[in-house]
Amino acid sequence: MSVKIKLPDGSVKQFDKPVSCFEAAQSVSAGLARAAICVEVNGVKRDMSYVIDGDCDFKIFTLKNEEGLEVLRHSTAHLMAQAISHIWKDAKFAIGPAIKNGFYYDIDFEGAVITVDDLDRIEKEMAKIVAEDLPIVREEMPRLQAIEFFRARGDNYKTEILSELDVETVSLYRQGDYVDLCRGPHVGSTGKLKVFKLTSIAGAYWRGDTKNKMLTRIYGTAFEKKQELDEYLQRLEEAKRRDHRKLGKELDLFDIFDEGPGFPFFFPKGMILRNLLEDFWRKEHVKAGYEEIKTPMILNQELWHRSGHWDHYKDNMYVVKIDDADYAIKPMNCPGGMLVYKRKPHSYRDLPERMAELGLVHRHELSGALHGLMRVRCFTQDDAHIFMTPEQIEEEIEGVVRLIDSFYKVFGFKYNLELSTRPADSMGTDEQWETATDALKKALNNLGKSYEINEGDGAFYGPKIDFHLEDSLGRTWQCGTIQLDFQMPERFDLTYVGQDGEKHRPVMIHRVVFGSIERFIAILTEHYAGAFPLWLAPVQVVLVPISESQSEYAHEVCDKLTALGYRAQVDDRNEKMNYRIREAQLQKVPYMLVLGEKERQDGTVAVRNRKKGDLGVMTLQAFLDKLQYETSSKSDDM
């Protein structure tokens, strides 16, 4: 029998008998075959040893591809599990997937306590297994037989997974004395897994359910080359230095206390930062034709049934009893916005109507998912709801994209766009979803914006565009979103009177720019490493008199600065000058004015910048001009 293999470039390789993926790769290039990690045969990823016995589309992946790195990292998760099984004989293994930038494995150590001090011991055992260069072999087994196989080993986690699968046959992977349930693919042998690092330990409930046992989750990563690993570890160290939870405490901005897990506290300096962001947000929205509203935090259960949130989101909502009736603390601002629109009749001449709200919402997040300001249980969404005629959809979406783009440019963020389509759990007709999705695509195309399609990840009421910001470390964060919705106006019976004098249903956009104020502050804190640009800095200028005799002059200058709206402080403590300058530097204050006797007599200031150091002596007016330019232009001295 002949076998035809079609390559991505359209060329075809023909063989007169079944051929392994490795042999097929060799027919393309011997070097490519050596570098290959896995292949895709008719859209299914396979090991290099897989035998092709029919015509197919064929694609090769190396470690230059994300797909190849994912296989390398998943194989390293198995390597780690094998090493652990040698050290802790009673350990049971749950799941061990590859994730972005690495892998993890959830493990039940049967009462043994594992700490970060054990990671070095595990790595050494992993290195021994790598040196043995054990073949990694795929085996197929009937599912019921596999259940008995793992049950005999006392592995209740694999047994539970297998009992829920609806397949006849499953695959196992064996490397030496270690066997794991896995779909694969994997690298050919443990000798290919030379560059790895175990990075951290955390707790994780089996299947994410708090009713289940807490397992130990060990994270790690793997790369093709040691240099790549070293660079990644350096980025991790830099990320730790920039961790907003650490900087929030050091700079006295915000924190989360044990008395309120997931409920952040903002301190005076943090409130300055927060208010500056909100003031900026308000000014830009007024320019863009939005009107601000405020809706209640608690509304009755009937409203949440009407909106669909009770059926689709109830597990994440906090509910309360008021006068023997059921109410909910809002997890989203949208239903309140519906009621504001519905309060009066509308004409097509009134549309589009753009309503913006900085609304505090509450969502129940599992304790294990909480993470500083990045994942909290209460946060302020910078929501807006735009009500419009169907003919206005594209223009309004384009306007929102431009507005969000203008915001992100101020902070120096690049971003990627993702268009998410209809999920399985959705409301509405096929026609509505098709119309909504096409409108989003057309608006992005009109603006010349490139984007990726994220199939099935839209909101339950409509498709959406997500903005993924890239920070100074190259990490991405999902912040802004635009969601087109035909469902809510239907459920709330919203109408407007058209040119024909008849009632029509408006279409609406849900959108956020920051996403949530709290999370955006966390991202900014890490992006700037706490050294906020002058316009955002909680303290903009610290004045440091060299001795007590210049203290009065320092306060005079400070008063002039504060009268002009700048955030300035005098540090005339009985400490050495260099100590006080160092304190201001540690607090990441943009400017320090060092004032000695000459400056007092001349009416000048000696200026130090937190990054550039000594800028020399200048007149007070020259310094004020500098401040005015940097604050008005929102420039950054990073």
Instruction: Spell out the domains of the chain, with CATH numbers in brackets.
Output: 3-62 (3.10.20.30), 67-241 (3.30.980.10), 263-527 (3.30.930.10), 541-633 (3.40.50.800)
Please determine, for residue 565, whether its predicted confidence score (pLDDT) is greater than 50.
yes
Which is nearest to 134 in space by CA: 205, 190, 79, 93? 190
Please write the tens of the pLDDT for every residue from 576-588.
Answer: 999 999 999 999 9
Q: What is the structure's pLDDT at 197?
A: 97
- Residue 623's φ and ψ, nearest 5 degrees, are -70, -40
The b-or-e profile of 51-74 (16+ CB within 10 A means b, else e) is ebeeebebbbbbbeeebbbbbbbb
Q: Are 41 and 56 in contact (CB under 8 A)?
A: yes
Which is nearest to 5 in space by CA: 71, 59, 77, 49? 59
Please determine, for residue 260, whether its predicted confidence score (pLDDT) is greater than 90.
yes
Cβ atoms < 10 Å from Cβ of 478: 14
Q: What is the structure's pLDDT at 319?
A: 92
Q: Which residues contact 626 (CB under 8 A, 6 or more apart)?
A: 618
Alpha helices in 288-429 (DSSP H): 301-307, 309-313, 334-342, 393-410
Under the banding of pLDDT at 50, 70 and 90, the label for residue 18 is very high
Q: What is the structure's pLDDT at 211?
A: 86
Cβ atoms < 10 Å from Cβ of 544: 25
Q: What is the structure's pLDDT at 487?
A: 85
Q: What is the structure's pLDDT at 320?
A: 92
Q: How many helices (H) and strands (E) does the chain have?
A: 20, 35
Q: Which residues contact 582 (CB under 8 A, 6 or more apart)?
A: none
**Secondary structure E strands in 513-612:** 541-545, 568-570, 591-595, 604-609
- Residue 347's φ and ψ, nearest 5 degrees, are -110, 160
Under the banding of pLDDT at 50, 70 and 90, the label for residue 462 is confident
| H or E element that contains 98 | strand 98-99
Q: Is 34 exposed, middle or buried (0-12, 13-18, 19+ CB in 10 A)?
A: exposed
The pTM is what?
0.83
What mean pLDDT is predicted for residues 227-231?
95
Q: Are 116 and 123 in contact (CB under 8 A)?
A: no
Secondary structure class of 556 (helix, strand, coil): helix
Provide the greatest CA pair distance for the chain.
98
Q: What is the structure's pLDDT at 472?
A: 81
**Dist CA 265 CA 348 (whole Å):** 44
Mean of pLDDT over the chain: 93
Please determine, for residue 364, whether its predicted confidence score (pLDDT) is greater than 50.
yes
Q: What is the structure's pLDDT at 460?
A: 77
Please write the tens of the pLDDT for every residue from 604-628.
Answer: 999 999 999 999 999 999 999 999 9
Q: Which residues contact 272 (CB under 8 A, 6 or more apart)?
A: 538, 567
Q: What is the structure's pLDDT at 638?
A: 41
Q: How many residues does the chain have?
A: 638
Active-site annotation, residues: 334, 363, 381, 383, 385, 464, 510
Q: Which residues contact 202 (CB under 8 A, 6 or more apart)?
A: 216, 217, 219
Q: Are 265 and 525 in contact (CB under 8 A)?
A: no
Under the banding of pLDDT at 50, 70 and 90, the label for residue 310 is confident
Q: Which residues face 485 on adjacent strands?
A: 508
Q: What is the structure's pLDDT at 637?
A: 59
Please write the tens of the pLDDT for every residue from 61-103.
Answer: 999 999 999 999 999 999 999 999 999 999 999 999 999 889 9
Residue that wins the pLDDT comparison between 475 and 594? 594
Q: What is the structure's pLDDT at 125?
A: 97
Q: What is the structure's pLDDT at 429?
A: 84
What mean pLDDT is predicted for residues 516-543?
96
Secondary structure class of 344 (helix, strand, coil): coil
**Dist CA 529 CA 638 (whole Å):** 10
**Dist CA 29 CA 33 (whole Å):** 6
Range in 150-154, 341-345, 422-426 the model is least confident about: 422-426
Please write the tens of the pLDDT for every residue from 323-342.
Answer: 999 999 999 999 999 999 99
Q: Are 244 and 526 in contact (CB under 8 A)?
A: yes
Please determine, for residue 636, whether its predicted confidence score (pLDDT) is greater than 80.
no
Q: Is-cis flag, bond preceding 506, omega within 30?
A: no
Q: 612 is written with which tokens?
A: 């550039």
Q: Which residues face 625 on adjacent strands?
A: none
**Dist CA 447 CA 394 (whole Å):** 10
